[in-house]
Structure 1
Amino acid sequence: MGETTITPNQEYKIVSNTKSYDIISKFFLISSADENSPIKATGSKKRLRISSSSSDKDSETDDLETTEKKSVDSRIKKTSQKVAKLTTSSKVNPLQSSDNSITDKKDNLDKKNCTNIEKSNNITSESKTEKVEKTNKKDSSPVKEKVSKCNVLVEDYNPTLPKYHPIKNACWEYGEKVPYYALTKTFEEIEKVSARLKMIEILSNFLRSVIVLTPDDLLPCIYLSLNKLGPAHEGLELGLAEQTLIRVISQSTGRTEVGDLGLVAEKSRTSQKLMFKPSPLNVNGVFKKFTEIANLTGKDSVNKKISMVSNLFTACKGPEAKFLMRSLNGKLRIACATTPPGQKYPPKNLDVSSTMSPDTFKSHVDELALILKTTYCECPNYGMLVPVLLKEGISALPKHCKITPGLPMKPMLAQPTKGVQEVLTRFEDMEFTCEWKYDGERAQIHYLENGKVKIFSRNQEDNTSKYPDIISRIQQVKKDSVTSFILDCEAVAWDKENNAILPFQVLIKRKRKDVAESDIKVPVCVYMFDLLYLNGKPLVKEKFIDRRRLLQENFNEVLGEWTFAKSIDTTKMEEVQEFLEESIKGNCEGLMVKTLREEATYEIAKRSKNWLKLKKDYLEGVGDTLDLVVLGGYLGKGKRTGTYGGFLIGCYDNDNEEYQSICKLGTGFSDESLAQHTEFFKPHVITQAPSYYQYDTSMEPDHWFEPIQVWETKCADFSLSPIHRAAVGVVDPVKGISLRFPRFLRIRDDKKPEDATTAQQIIDLYHNQEQVKCQNSVKFQEEDFY
């Protein structure tokens, strides 16, 4: 019978009628001694016992068994009260029964709750009967409702304890719903610390309690921790406007303060007095309400949302109000990323198995983490992963959760380079190919065995209804032998009269949803460049030269509608240079350079050094264009009077969930475009900078904006700045990084603000400058997106 360590330092173990299990869920790293052993979430009886290698083993065992004994007696008491209430009219005393009948009631109750608690201190039937009779006399008129443990101890919940016990230190009992307070208290404690390992420890402590006590609530706990309601392709988003949430707070409490919505909500709710105490919130209930709110559409939907949010807000206590409002606003801001940078295994104080040496255990956990990470990249849906993790363990994930048509994957991305010579240096002695880099929208096209077609964006959003013209040509494009596939493509605006590629700005004029093919005014041409799945077989582990061959063998070209990416296989600098210039003349951005045989697998969700991008902008300055968020506007002067004359823009720091100013942008605009930008940002002006904007007061703009739009920007190079806050304190103790000679290129409607260039990418680009490379000799590093 397998046993799994579930708490630090003391080896508290779960004993099941099956083996033990382990969950390492991204930044929820929960360790194990035997990953093959599950605890089934439903339908199986479980026995809890405690085993400790420390000298106080016996006392610890007695403590837990005493707790379990009280729990059993409490449940007997509660059952007898219910029976007494039901039989009062017939004057029958249910306690006037044999010892065996009392035991039967206890056993039936144990079965009903799917628990089978092992007690080393046997309690006689006589003593149980005496306790129940005494309790019944005390509470017989009227019968009092049992006070739940979570109502008594919830305010004392502390997931930061160094020797956290998932049962004894939880603020709810086995089978009870997870209190929302416990989750928000965990968020509050995470918010207080900056050390990544401590964040992992705190969240892991909470999740271990969820797994042991209420496994059915694990999935909503994970989604609320990620501030999501489901996988990206389902399109469920809260993101209620700040004004809507301010209205909720104002109507509920009468307060009209501005600032961090969460802090305002917490302060307002603390001072609010209620006539009747509402029922406490639980995680599952809050998650369901969030889902209902996200699904509300149509007439009067805003008022209905306000009413539902108000009901939730009124029931909040402690940190619940703060994190409720932040979740609804789409900005949790507890600095928890999906995968901590550089975090490969749990910290030492998390459940090191007594049966393994530290090195063996580290290796073991590394192996499990790789399985989970790989599986999540191929099947990015916690709704599919969590049930398998709970039932069968990590080792079963590849069997049940795999690449499947209809379920989008994060695409492989390319590293920027500054010139042809850098490409040749990187791919020295390796075979590689150069492809035109098309200026369009990434399209991952899925064809299911039932003939259904799905199209997903680079952000895994469902774009199927946007491209009916792509779907209508599928049967012409695929060969008859093809029954299912996943293609990686680029959808590009196409000029049918001149058989030419049109700029990206033309493509974004297409409607985003529910497009009728007869109404299409901007046709597209699909450029196929990779095949990830064919006829039931994933191809991501195959070499690119083989994937490309299968692509060309199994698909047809349709002139001006579907075609293969234009490419050449070469190792000569002159040919690469000529092909780059040819791509620019063909209205493309530049080249994609890919290895053919060595290190040539498809690396899902990774910005890999095995794909390099060489854009025309690189030849003019910095090695990449930047996607930056507009934070505020400066009123124009002179000929720009009446519009904004410049803008404060910033990068996104995904570790701290904040936007950091990087430069003031005033070039690259025409008078017409400035007027359009001014009109666009009018409804998005806010009274003051949100708490998650990092900037110097000397650069404060005339108007602040909500983070709503991403702009592609290019610059000559990077420099350290005492004013701008991008990556402040990383390269220099007090200075940030700013752009020299920034220039606006275009709006990136295909990107959300959270998809903007990150502070870490800014650091990498800064170090990649020739003069900085010579000083620091920084290595070429890959970037992992999970």
Structure 2
Amino acid sequence: MAKQRTLDALFGQSSEPDAKKPRLQKEEDDEVEADEHIDANAAEKTAESVVKNVVSEPSWKSGSPIQYATLVETFSKVEATTKRLDILQYVTDLFVKVIAHCRKTSMECASENLLYTVYMCINRLCPDYEGLELGIGEGLLVKAIAQSTGREVIRIKKELEKQGDLGLVALASRKHQPTMFQAQKLTVPSVFKQLKEIARATGAKSQDKKLGIIKRLLAACVGEESKYLIRSLEGKLRIGLAEKTVLVAVAHAVILTSLGAKASKTDKDELASILESGTNIVKAVFSELPSYNVLIPALLEHGVEGLRDRVKLTPGIPLKPMLAKPTKEIGEVLDRFENRSFTCEYKYDGERAQIHGYIDEQGQQVICVFSRNSEDMSKKYPDLVVQTPHCLGQGVTSFVLDAEAVAWQPLHIAQAERADATDGRLLPFQELSRRKRKDVKAEDIKVSVKIFAFDLLYLNGEPLLNQPLDERRTKLKQHFVPVADEFDYAIHRDCQTTEEIQTFLDESVASGCEGLMVKMLEGPDATYEPSRRSINWLKLKKDYLSGTGDSLDLTVIGGYYGKGKRTNVYGAYLLACYDENSETYQSICKIGTGFSEADLDAHYATLKPLELTQKKGYYDVGDAKPDVYFEPRVVWEVLTADLSLSPVYTAAKSMIDARGISLRFPRFLRIRDDKVPEQSTAPEQIAQMYRAQAVASKKQRGRDDEDDFW
């Protein structure tokens, strides 16, 4: 049965739930079991490759920087397969070569080359919180290809319409270009540093500078290098290499190079066990401190064994937040937390804010505010940076708070509206979204923000992640004090019955909140689990109670021209989920409801500048045919009546059967400014929602049959 559940989780097949387990518990077990199964297989595959000595010698000189051609060779192998274990093996082999042959020069050389190679594999330039992006439009890349190959822009654009992939167009253009002289071979460090130079270029002539760098890089490309270079510049490699695979490959490579010659002499099962154990350590540490800048040097210098002691949660570097599982029945809450201590908190209608405080090297207090996707929001919320020190208790020098930033009507304004007002008032998320995202000045702020803290993750040099919630909450109240209109604790109540939960849910909605968060309060399951959607936290929203159990965050990739009253705007939109494994946007529905006339005008103004001349190569739309396509920039939160299998749309295709999954009666809720398109709901989540719905409907049919009998 356990093996069958693992296979179901891996291949998207539905199976009957274990009658002895609550549905949420079973889903969690399936996910964990599937992950463990994959990790074990990955470790075994790597161990087999070591025993067979399949890690070949590199084509570049020992001790010198890794050649870009070597990276491109790995990209080509990865793109040619869909097998996850094979992909992992190719990337592990690459990292082993980089470490083993660069460390002959110095540990610093190995660290630099591995770091740059990892960033090139995940197509990033730095940790998320640094916010450095290339910011290159398609037009500039077309111009660079034209000028570096001597072809006409119009011919390149026509070829792009046919191919849908600018990387392939660049490759074809280079093949027809006569070579006057042999340029110096590209290396990964040189390419990476020039990409950073492009991202940092600002000012009046920044476009010319970017164009010049791209042309130089293209001129030095050989073979398929131009294809992957252009894709890197576009921000989409599209080879099916997920970051979680890269992280596992880093762990495997470091362990194998530390073992050296012993690796091939170690028993295969023993080596697989070592790899699996080490990988779990690396994944756990990275979830607390998600920075390759810190992780990779520490791994190479101290190995996996010394990682936990040297890489820990650190103020100033945001960790990936813990997330909650959705639930739509209060009964499910009681099933999950039966005979366990749990607490209910208001689920505020705001923006997740991770607030860090520490003393810098100059002895100055630093306050940083990060979003749920690790974006530095300190400039968006300068008022929070000023307000936060007001709530600090005596002796607090460093901390990390998990909180919600909520639009707030201060007391003096509330009293002007209502003479009986004794406190300020929560405002909806739409008010918060009116604030500017960049270069916000205190005097320009029209929407006040109040912080509601619900967790304390770090205090005065001590990480608190492994302490139960009741202890973390106690320390939060001991060391932080409420400040009117600025800071307070999330309102909570320890409920025991369905009636108590329902009453508290009604109170939260009446106060302007979305619903409740239900959390394990005591014991080993009440710890904070970074980057994990855990059943130890459940979210119970008012909209869920009669719906599918969760809203979805989807990217707008297409539009349909409006008719009648909507003639001058888009009348409907094509939405998509994001598959990080294939790096594609998969169509899921056409949406035209939930919009006011003001909404339609605002969406048109936002999306019109994002119109494309043709569909992106990484848009998997199936039989959907929008009138126009957009750049993937805008994320919407959408609610649906239910999910159905569809021959038209491609979301989660082949996870249930050959068809994709679509939303029935989707309704627009709000814009998700706090999410980037790559954080859209994943196909795996959509498939899971569909299965959960199928189980629920089966139960409902059983009840209906009983009613019909009587």
TM-score range, shorter chain: 0.7 to 0.9
Q: Indicate the residue corresponding to 2:635 in structure 1.
A: 710
- 8 Å contact from structure 1 (residues 669, 744) kept in 2: yes
Q: Indicate the residue corresponding to 2:324 in structure 1.
A: 414
Q: 1:746: how far off?
A: 1.1
Q: 1:361 aligns with which of 267, 271, 275?
A: 271
In structure 1, distance between residues paired with 2:458 and 2:605: 45
Look up the equivalent residue of 2:448 and give its one-letter code.
P
Cα deviations by residue, 1:699-734 (Å, 9 ceiling, x for unpaired): 2111111111011110011111111111111101x2
- Of the structure 1 ranges 598-607 and 274-283, higher mean CA displacement relative to structure 2 is found in 274-283
Relative to structure 1, is the Cα distance of residues 323 and 775 closer, same or farther in structure 2, using a 3 angstrom cutoff? Answer: farther
In structure 2, distance between residues paired with 1:530 and 1:676: 36
Cα deviations by residue, 1:58-116 (Å, 9 ceiling, x for unpaired): xxxxxxxxxxxxxxxxxxxxxxxxxxxxxxxxxxxxxxxxxxxxxxxxxxxxxxxxxxx
Cα deviations by residue, 1:384-415 (Å, 9 ceiling, x for unpaired): 11112222211111122111111111110101
In structure 2, distance between residues paired with 1:623 and 1:456: 28
Q: Indicate the residue corresponding to 1:687 in structure 2.
A: 613
In structure 1, distance between residues paired with 2:314 and 2:664: 45
1:299 aligns with 2:209: no
Q: Indicate the residue corresponding to 1:5 in structure 2.
A: none
Secondary structure, aligned partner of 1:668: coil
- 8 Å contact from structure 2 (residues 40, 272) kept in 1: no
In structure 1, distance between residues paired with 2:78 and 2:452: 45
Secondary structure, aligned partner of 1:765: helix
Q: 1:291: how far off?
A: 0.8
Relative to structure 1, is the Cα distance of residues 552 and 32 closer, same or farther in structure 2, using a 3 angstrom cutoff? Answer: farther
1:731 aligns with 2:641: no
In structure 2, distance between residues paired with 1:759 and 1:683: 28
Look up the equivalent residue of 1:312 and give its one-letter code.
L
- 8 Å contact from structure 2 (residues 644, 664) kept in 1: yes
1:229 aligns with 2:101: no
- 8 Å contact from structure 2 (residues 519, 536) kept in 1: yes
Q: 1:346: how far off?
A: 6.8
- 8 Å contact from structure 2 (residues 285, 308) kept in 1: yes
1:767 aligns with 2:701: no
Relative to structure 1, is the Cα distance of residues 773 and 226 closer, same or farther in structure 2, using a 3 angstrom cutoff? Answer: farther
In structure 2, distance between residues paired with 1:719 and 1:310: 48
Q: 1:277: how far off?
A: 2.1
Q: Indicate the residue corresponding to 2:6 in structure 1.
A: none
- 8 Å contact from structure 2 (residues 137, 234) kept in 1: yes
Secondary structure, aligned partner of 2:557: strand
Secondary structure, aligned partner of 1:227: coil
Q: 1:365: how far off?
A: 2.1
1:603 aligns with 2:493: no
Q: 1:749 aligns with which of 657, 666, 673?
A: 673
Q: Indicate the residue corresponding to 1:395 in structure 2.
A: 305
1:640 aligns with 2:583: no
Q: 2:65 aligns with which of 177, 187, 200?
A: 177
1:331 aligns with 2:236: yes
Q: 1:362: how far off?
A: 3.0
Relative to structure 1, is the Cα distance of residues 292 and 371 closer, same or farther in structure 2, using a 3 angstrom cutoff? Answer: same
In structure 2, distance between residues paired with 1:749 and 1:452: 25
Relative to structure 1, is the Cα distance of residues 480 and 578 closer, same or farther in structure 2, using a 3 angstrom cutoff? Answer: same
Relative to total residues, which structure has the larger helix share, 1 or 2? 2
Q: 1:566 aligns with which of 487, 491, 508?
A: 491
1:377 aligns with 2:287: yes
Q: Indicate the residue corresponding to 2:166 in structure 1.
A: 261
1:459 aligns with 2:395: no
In structure 2, distance between residues paired with 1:423 and 1:643: 43
- 8 Å contact from structure 2 (residues 457, 465) kept in 1: yes
Q: Indicate the residue corresponding to 2:28 in structure 1.
A: none
Look up the equivalent residue of 2:609 and give its one-letter code.
P
Aligned pairs (5 A) from 1:168-567: 169-214=57-102, 215=110, 216-253=112-149, 254=151, 255-256=155-156, 257-258=159-160, 259-340=164-245, 353=263, 356-449=266-359, 450=363, 451-496=365-410, 497-498=413-414, 499-567=424-492
Q: 1:342: how far off?
A: 13
Relative to structure 1, is the Cα distance of residues 624 and 411 closer, same or farther in structure 2, using a 3 angstrom cutoff? Answer: same
In structure 2, distance between residues paired with 1:545 and 1:715: 35
Q: 1:538: how far off?
A: 0.5
- Of the structure 1 ranges 582-591 and 193-202, higher mean CA displacement relative to structure 2 is found in 582-591
In structure 1, distance between residues paired with 2:231 and 2:43: 26
- 8 Å contact from structure 1 (residues 628, 649) kept in 2: yes
Unaligned stretches of 5+ in structure 1?
1-25, 35-51, 55-161, 777-786
Look up the equivalent residue of 1:758 and give its one-letter code.
A
Look up the equivalent residue of 2:129 and give its one-letter code.
H
In structure 2, distance between residues paired with 1:694 and 1:511: 33
Aligned pairs (5 A) from 1:10-49: none
By relative contact order (CA 8 Å, sep 6+), the higher-ranking structure is 2
What's the TM-score once normalised by structure 1's chain length? 0.76
- 8 Å contact from structure 2 (residues 44, 272) kept in 1: no
Q: 1:340: how far off?
A: 4.3
- 8 Å contact from structure 1 (residues 27, 339) kept in 2: no
Q: 1:772: how far off?
A: 5.8
Relative to structure 1, is the Cα distance of residues 657 and 28 closer, same or farther in structure 2, using a 3 angstrom cutoff? Answer: farther
In structure 2, distance between residues paired with 1:434 and 1:707: 36
- 8 Å contact from structure 2 (residues 550, 639) kept in 1: yes
In structure 1, distance between residues paired with 2:696 and 2:580: 25
In structure 1, distance between residues paired with 2:246 and 2:225: 28
Look up the equivalent residue of 2:435 and give its one-letter code.
R
Q: 1:206: how far off?
A: 1.3
Relative to structure 1, is the Cα distance of residues 642 and 515 closer, same or farther in structure 2, using a 3 angstrom cutoff? Answer: closer
- 8 Å contact from structure 1 (residues 30, 204) kept in 2: no
In structure 2, distance between residues paired with 1:366 and 1:442: 33
In structure 2, distance between residues paired with 1:181 and 1:359: 34
In structure 2, distance between residues paired with 1:218 and 1:646: 46
Look up the equivalent residue of 1:504 and give its one-letter code.
F
Q: 1:359: how far off?
A: 3.8
Q: 1:163: how far off?
A: 4.3
- 8 Å contact from structure 2 (residues 247, 283) kept in 1: no
Look up the equivalent residue of 2:79 and give its one-letter code.
E
In structure 1, distance between residues paired with 2:173 and 2:378: 44
Q: Indicate the residue corresponding to 2:626 in structure 1.
A: 701
| Alignment length (residue pairs) | 622
In structure 2, distance between residues paired with 1:511 and 1:27: 47
Q: 1:474: how far off?
A: 2.7
- 8 Å contact from structure 1 (residues 629, 651) kept in 2: yes
Look up the equivalent residue of 2:240 and give its one-letter code.
A
- RMSD of equivalent CA atoms: 2.7
Structure having the higher Rg: 1
What's the TM-score once normalised by structure 2's chain length? 0.84
Secondary structure, aligned partner of 1:594: strand
Look up the equivalent residue of 1:181 and give its one-letter code.
A
Q: Indicate the residue corresponding to 1:651 in structure 2.
A: 577
In structure 1, distance between residues paired with 2:594 and 2:269: 56
Secondary structure, aligned partner of 1:399: helix
Q: 1:493: how far off?
A: 0.6
- 8 Å contact from structure 1 (residues 27, 340) kept in 2: no
Cα deviations by residue, 1:325-372 (Å, 9 ceiling, x for unpaired): 11111111111112249989979xx99946654443333222211211
